[in-house]
A and B are shown apart, each in its own frame.
Chain A
Amino acid sequence: MANLTIKNLKKSFGDIEILKGIDLEIKDNEFVVFVGPSGCGKSTLLRSIAGLEDVTSGHIMLDHKEITDLAPAKRDLAMVFQSYALYPHMSVRKNMSFALELAKENKEVISTKVSEAARILELEPLLERKPKELSGGQRQRVAIGRAIVRQPKVFLFDEPLSNLDAALRVQMRLELARLHHDLNATMIYVTHDQVEAMTLADKVVVLNQGRIEQVGTPLELYRNPANRFVAGFLGMPKMSFLPGNVTAIDASSVTVELTSGASVTLPAASEHLRKGSAVTVGVRPENIDVVEPSESSLTGYMDIAESLGSDTYCYVKTDGQETLTVRMPGNFACNYGDRIGLRLHVDECHLFDEQGNAVQKPSRMAA
């Protein structure tokens, strides 16, 4: 069992407040990913859980036991660092057995546990090597092995894949997902890479400027971002934002006039929107169709098109000088400067008020 509860956690370095009151529940066996831009406090939050940083105020509880002021050694957590942080003077075997030796574990037990971890991570032929004789991916596996042998209550990962090259990163990502499945362990994972967050997490925690913006499953966050920040942060390529003003409101929809003069009517439950309110329409690249200019009131010019083979990402400049990203099939043909019309899938669009908070959709209100 490992339920982690964080209550109103604050952390300052000097006058600078890094964490501004974090509340979070992490359940047993969950894979939780902290994601956010650099400087958002995600690493500090992880290090506070680890005990490597003293917190300014608030509580951290593991299985209802207060661990806020406990030394890292006494928390029963294991951490995998971005730089691997292997002990360079010890062999792979020693690196993995170090924690168990410190815990005065029986020699045979240590040997069994290390062999077991080495088998899972395919490190058996490397056990007698020193870290400097290993490749980046192998070092990363040793770092994970060092955490596994301890069978900790919670695994902490601090951007573990960011030092690896792209191909290896994808491979290790899969291995981590498999490991989580096999070990059935609680894992907390910090990354700035939203692909890692989307693919690995049971629960994503989006952080920004020391605050939690939203918590939810990857798809919840993707489909129902609570605000513009989350909407813009998750998704690749990013969601496009079109500023505009409300021109008409009824019970279940809102009509917005965009800067270019085009109007769109979106389903929305608009309790606090008034006629004339400034709003932003958010639309994902897959929710836009390219049509003939005559077929749509939203028109523009083709700017750059990136062909990825499977998809083509078109960057379009509208007549209102907004930039839109459109995902088209890989065989889509277009030229720089082509005049085009754009049709938005209004049901899939997001509406944000002046403060950047999402305006609820009527159907979900009912549900």
Chain B
Amino acid sequence: MLSLKQRRSLNTLLMGVLAWGVALAIFFPIFWMLLTSFKTEIDAFATPPQLFFSPTLENYTLVNERSDYLHFAWNSVVVSFGSTIIGMMLAVPAAYSMAFFETKRTKGTLLWMLSTKMLPPVGVLVPIYLLFKDTGLLDTKTGLVIIYTLINLPIMIWMAYTYFKEIPKEVLEAARMDGSTLFQEIWRVLLPMSKGGLAATVLLSLILSWNEAFWSLNLTASEAAPLTALIASYSSPEGLFWAKLSAVSTLACAPILIFGWISQKQLVRGLSFGAVK
């Protein structure tokens, strides 16, 4: 028989192994992508796959020659930050009114907003494409900002609503009694009190917009194309170039990965806010 202490440390060990296993399984594709990006095209194709090879930077050089990375990266930045900022400007007031001035229809409205996320996007591709064509929004950053804002808005409102719900109504009432205008009440009391959760909302919106591919592929050509479109352009009809595709993918993922790494503490705390108290 194991003592309680031994059993506990065995438990910890098993959980540790499991956690590392899951983490590695999730991380492996990214690791392999990174590895492949430093291989030659021949090495990238090799069977069995090679773990040890002489690394080369030629893919990166080639990608840089063939396409203007900064152009695409800039589009990604503008579109994801633009849609996040506009989204937050809409989500905060919406969530505020739903959290603190609840009516009979609030729950229904929230569910309805979420239900729009259940529709397969391809179902509305044609109408939206035609709408964009008629309004001249095809292949514009403005168009992408609008569509990203709209697709992320339900999640942003839902998240902000959850965080606002945690805030006691009396504190806002106290601010009102103290003489705050509506704007002061939100800016000086509500936002500082929910900054952890709102930061998580911002981060999630940035990540979702940055990684979004369906609409960017269908609604942009070259002018407004973000990094996801750049990656797709490397799976070309004349054949797959794994190494180059990996290089461009690495370049596309890197900024958001680094960003996520820096902000992981905030993100984890924000996402688990309502769940664990």
Q: Which residues of A contact B (CB under 8 A)?
A: 50-52, 71-73, 77-79, 81-83, 85-89, 98-99, 102-103, 146, 150
Assembled-state Cα–Cα distance A99/B189 (Å): 12
Q: A87-B189, A89-B193, A102-B184 are in contact. Are A146 and B171 (CB under 8 A)?
A: no
**Chain A residues, CB < 8 A from B175:** 87, 98
Instruction: Say whether B177 contacts A79, CB under 8 Å.
Output: yes
B191-202, CB under 8 A of A: which get 1 and which 0? 011000000000
B176 on the A face (CB < 8 A): yes
- A88-B193, A89-B192 are known contacts. Are A83 and B179 too (CB-CB below 8 A)? no
Across-interface contacts of A103 in B (CB, < 8 A) = 179
Q: How far is the CA of A85 from the CA of B168 in the complex (A)?
A: 8
Chain B residue numbers with a CB within 8 Å of A99 are: 178-179
Interface size on B, residues (CB 8 A): 17
Which residues from A are CB-within-8-Å of B188? 98
Let me know if B180 and A78 touch, CB within 8 A. no
Asked if B184 contacts A81 (CB within 8 A), the reply is no
> Are A87's CB and B171's CB within 8 A?
yes
In the assembled complex, the Cα of A239 lies from the Cα of B126 at a distance in Å of: 78
Beyond A85-B168, A87-B171, is A98–B193 a contact (Cβ under 8 Å)?
A: no
Which listed residue (A51, A85, A89) contacts B174, Cβ 8 A?
Answer: A85
A102 and B174 contact, Cβ closer than 8 Å, known pairs A83-B168, A85-B168, A89-B192: no
| Residues on B facing A (Cβ under 8 Å) | 168, 170-171, 173-181, 184, 188-189, 192-193
Tell me if A81 and B174 are in contact (CB < 8 A): yes
Chain A residues contacting B192 (CB-CB under 8 Å) are 89
List chain A residues, Cβ under 8 A from B177: 50, 52, 72-73, 77-79
Residues of A within 8 A of B184 (CB): 102
Which residues of the other chain, A, contact B171 by a CB distance below 8 angstroms?
85-88
A22 to chain B, nearest CB (A): 21
- List 17 A–B pairs whose Cβ atoms lie within 8 Å, in order of A's numbering: A50-B173, A52-B177, A72-B176, A72-B177, A73-B179, A73-B181, A77-B177, A79-B177, A81-B170, A85-B174, A88-B171, A98-B178, A98-B188, A99-B178, A102-B180, A103-B179, A146-B178
Given contacts A72-B176, A73-B176, contact A85 B170 (CB under 8 A): yes
Would you give the shortest CB distance from A255 to chain B, in whole angstroms? 55
Max chain B CB contacts within 10 Å: which of A87, A103, A146?
Answer: A87
Beyond A73-B178, A87-B174, A89-B192, 4 additional contacts (C-beta under 8 Å) are A50-B173, A71-B176, A73-B179, A102-B180
Interface of B is mostly: helix
B173 — which chain A residues lie within 8 A by C-beta? 50, 52, 72, 79, 81, 85
The distance in angstroms between the C-alpha atoms of A86 and B170, with both chains bound, is 9
> CA–CA, A89 to B177, complex, Å?
18
Residues of A within 8 A of B180 (CB): 73, 102
- Bound Cα distance A85, B177 (Å): 11
What residues of B have a CB within 8 angstroms of the CB of A87 in the complex? 171, 174-175, 189, 193
Residue of B whose beta carbon sits closest to that of A77 = B177
Q: Specify which chain A residues have a CB less than 8 angstroms from the CB of B193 in the assembled complex.
A: 87-89
Question: Hey, which chain A residues are within 8 Å of B176, CB to CB?
Answer: 51-52, 71-73
Q: Which residue of A lies closest to B167 (CB)?
A: A88
Residue of B nearest to A50 (CB): B177
Q: Nearest CB to that of B189 among chain A residues?
A: A87
Contact of B178 among A52, A71, A82, A102 (CB under 8 A): A102
Q: Which residue of B lies closest to A158 (CB)?
A: B170
In the complex formed, the residue of A with least CB distance to B181 is: A73
B82 to chain A, nearest CB (A): 29
Nearest CB of chain B from residue A51's CB, rounded to whole Å: 8
Nearest to B168 among chain A residues (CB) is A83
Smallest beta-carbon distance B101→chain A, Å: 11
Nearest-neighbour CB distance to chain A for B188, whole angstroms, equals: 8
B184 (CB) vs chain A CBs: closest residue: A102
Contacts of A150 in B (CB 8 A): 178
> How far does the alpha carbon of A232 sit from the alpha carbon of B150 in the complex, in Å?
60
Chain B minimum-CB-distance residue to A103: B179
- Which residue on chain A has the smallest CB distance to residue B171? A85
Cα A2 to Cα B243 with chains together (Å): 80
Chain B residue numbers with a CB within 8 Å of A83 are: 168, 170
Task: Give the chain A neighbours of B168 by CB distance below 8 A.
Answer: 83, 85
Q: How far is the CB of A151 from chain B (nearest CB, A)?
A: 13
Q: Which residue of B lies closest to A75 (CB)?
A: B177
Q: Rank and list the top 4 A-B pairs by shortest CB-CB distance, nearest first.
A: A85-B170, A99-B178, A85-B174, A73-B179
Q: Select from chain A the residue with minimum beta-carbon distance to B194.
A: A89
Report chain B residues within 8 Å CB of A85. Answer: 168, 170-171, 173-174
How near does chain A come to B190, taking the closest CB pair, in angstroms? 10
Residue of A78, A98, A146 with most chain B CB atoms under a 10 A cut-off: A98
| Nearest CB of chain B from residue A164's CB, rounded to whole Å | 16
Give complex CA distance A78, B176 in Å: 10
Residues of chain B lying within 8 A (CB to CB) of residue A79: 173-174, 177
- Please name all residues of chain B whose beta carbon is closer than 8 Å to the beta carbon of A51 when the two chains form the complex: 176
A313 → chain B closest CB, angstroms:
37
What is the minimal beta-carbon distance from A91 to any residue of chain B, in angstroms? 13
- Distance A6 CA – B176 CA, assembled complex (angstroms): 22
CA distance A89 to B196 in the complex (A): 12
CA distance A72 to B178 in the complex (A): 8
Chain B residues with Cβ under 8 A from A77's Cβ?
177
* CB of B104, distance to nearest CB on chain A (Å): 9
**Chain A residue at minimum C-beta to C-beta distance from B169:** A85
Shortest Cβ distance from B181 into chain A, in angstroms? 7
Bound-state Cα–Cα, A77 to B193, Å = 24
Q: Once the chains are docked, how many angstroms separate the CA of A85 from the CA of B171?
A: 4
Interface centre among B174, B175, B193 (most CB of A within 10 A): B174
> Closest B-chain residue to A156, C-beta based?
B177
